[in-house]
Structure 1
Amino acid sequence: MNLRRLLLVGAVAFAACFAGVFLGQRVADTPNPNETELHAVLHDRITLTAAQKARIDKIEADFAVRRHALEQEMRASNIRLAKAIEAEQGYGPRVTEAIDHTHDVMGTLQKETLEHLFEMRAVLNREQAQEFDESVVKALTADAR
């Protein structure tokens, strides 16, 4: 009976680890359609001057490096969570700590993404910024509709 219980707990722990890693990869690896839409607004619908385009390209290149680092940290955080689940086989202090760290990384990514958007917005003139703002609002409320 103990072997059966151990195998069941191991299977549940493995499934939880796999689900955590899978979900984490989906969050970090999949381009956000709303973000893609915002970039389309900047590059396709708003007519940028050469100077604006050069500044925005630099801002995007700089952010791509930081975003990649945060996505790597998110993957590492998911691995820590999987190992904590495997070790504790329940919702213990290591699992709680790993979840909190994952949330911190996700929050940092969200904050830095918004800072990135505002940095790009600062390059735009008033009319361009208004169109950009409308796209941001649309992107952020798309799931609420």
Structure 2
Amino acid sequence: MKFGGLQLLLAIALALAAGVLGAIAAGELRDTGQSQTLHHFVHEELDLTDRQKAQLNQLENNFAAERKDMEISLRAANSQLAAAMEDEHEYGPKVVSAIDEVHDRMGDLQKATVRHVFDMRALLDPQQQLRFDRQVASSLTSEPGE
């Protein structure tokens, strides 16, 4: 079976959609109506000590490198999905396997992000932790645009 222009466009659109879903799961796409990110909240609202700032900067540098590697892995998984879709032209075993790989990479990134949140929390004093916990809960449960 030849791969027509419409089928190619559909495959590209589906691969793009998978990439967007991965980016959303990774927290890359944020609602611009959200008043502040967790990063901003920690740095600007918690009155960190100099020691906490230094420790937080180290955590963030380490996480940035880890996240970059995971995002590269997620992009590779999305590329495998696009190739599987192009190869099979249907929801076949290669596509299913590639989707599972994308989900695994998205899950790895989400788990690393949650670990990073707990690592940040561990640097805070009990009063800061209470405020941090409320902010995290609010971020996870609020509707987009709230």
TM-score grouping bracket, smaller chain normalisation: 0.7 to 0.9
Matching residue's letter, 2:95: V
Provide the rounded CA distance (Å) in 2 between the counterparts of 1:13 and 1:104: 26
Give 1:104's aligned residue. 104
Q: What TM-score comes out, normalization by structure 1 length? A: 0.85
Matching residue's letter, 1:103: H
C-alpha distance after superposition, 1:5-62 (max 9, x if no partner): x63xx5234323333235415743834457x610111100110000000001100100
3-state SS in 2 of match to 1:143: coil
3-state SS in 1 of match to 2:10: helix
Gaps in structure 1 of 5+ consecutive residues: none
3-state SS in 2 of match to 1:127: helix
Give 1:55's aligned residue. 55
Provide the rounded CA distance (Å) in 2 between the counterparts of 1:66 and 1:80: 21
By percentage of residues, which structure has more helix?
A: 1
Query: How far did 1:65 drift?
Result: 0.3
The correspondence of residues 21-100 of structure 1 with structure 2, limited to 5 A, is 21-25=16-20, 27-28=22-23, 30-33=28-31, 37-100=37-100
Provide the rounded CA distance (Å) in 1 between the counterparts of 2:9 and 2:72: 22
Provide the rounded CA distance (Å) in 1 between the counterparts of 2:8 and 2:94: 14
Give the count of matched residue pairs: 139
Please say which structure displays the higher CA radius of gyration: 1
* Contact 1:16 1:82 survives alignment (8 Å): yes
Q: Provide the identity percentage.
A: 37
Gaps in structure 2 of 5+ consecutive residues: none
